[in-house]
Amino acid sequence: MSEITSMGERRFGRVNWLGLATLTKREIRRFLTVWMQTIMAPLVTAGLFLAIFSIAIGPGRGEVMGFAYLHFIAPGILTMSVVQNAFANTSSSILVSKVQGNIVDTLMPPLSAGELVTGYVAGGVARGLFVAIPIGLVMMPIIGLEIRAPLLALSYIVLGAALMAGLGLMAGIHAQKFDQLAAISNFIITPLSFLSGTFYSVEAVPERMQLLLHWNPMFYLIDGVRYSVLGISDSPALLGLAILAAATAVILFLCWRMMRAGKRLKP
């Protein structure tokens, strides 16, 4: 595969826009074909989270950082829905192609490693946005919230979706069967999501755990989206955006290295 990619890079010094657009459209159509599972299901899950927390905890929980608990966790639930779907899109796409043996249809065209990564990640980001927009426009007003800084929220969501889509791509390349992918999701992605301040403020955890939270890029993602919606945060918003951008750049670079090497890409 590395020889094929290198040949494509030598022959096409410029970006293969047609091939990149085709790959991106394929990735978007792949999840739109089963929209009940890929879009509606996450929306229902997010709504159930909000409903259950509202019923089970209600106003008795008290305020967190000056806001009702339901309002405090809503941005985090939105963000978790985005990142989980971005990860699932790229990881399942490449692993299914490997298992079914049709990944050669993606590797044979004259697409460079960078174009392959961009196409897959763009599909993951698109799926994240397809989930985020209905939650932001429909569910947030229902519970009495509005997004105070839409552009900042969009920046965080796009970067977070790109980060998790990149991690999904790495997981899909590494895994050879669905059990391995499930292990990566259960033991790495899920802990990163839940140990990120979604359901609590960083001030509520022990000091040693606070240090661990600040090493988790998901913390800055959820904290940044919360700031975009509520105007409060545990860390400076621009600092979080810079850290998230740096983490995303590192992950995408590693994706490029793995795709260019071509290892573990055959079923």
| Domain boundary assignment for the chain | 2-261
SS3 state of residue 118: helix
Q: How many Å apart are CA 126 and CA 175, to the nearest integer?
A: 23
Average pLDDT over the chain, rounded to an integer: 88
Would you state the structure tokens that stand for residue 177, as one six-digit string? 């069967």
Q: Which helix (H) or strand (E) covers residue 152, if one does?
A: helix 150-174
The whole-angstrom distance between residue 207's C-alpha and the CA centroid of its chain comes to: 28
For 23-47, the pLDDT digits (tens) are 999 999 999 999 999 999 999 998 8
Give me the phi and psi of 63, to 5 degrees please: -85, 150
- The residues facing 63 across adjacent strands are 68
pLDDT tens, position by position, 89-139 = 999 999 999 999 889 889 888 999 999 999 999 999 999 999 999 888 888
Q: Who has greater pLDDT, 190 or 58?
A: 190
Residue 266 has pLDDT above 90, yes or no: no
Provide the angle, in degrees to the nearest 10, between the axes of the packed helices 69-100 and 217-230: 130
pTM as predicted: 0.89
| Start-to-end Cα distance in the chain | 13
* Spatial distance between the Cα atoms of 236 and 125, rounded to a whole number of angstroms: 25
Record the tokens describing residue 152, joined without a space: 């900042």
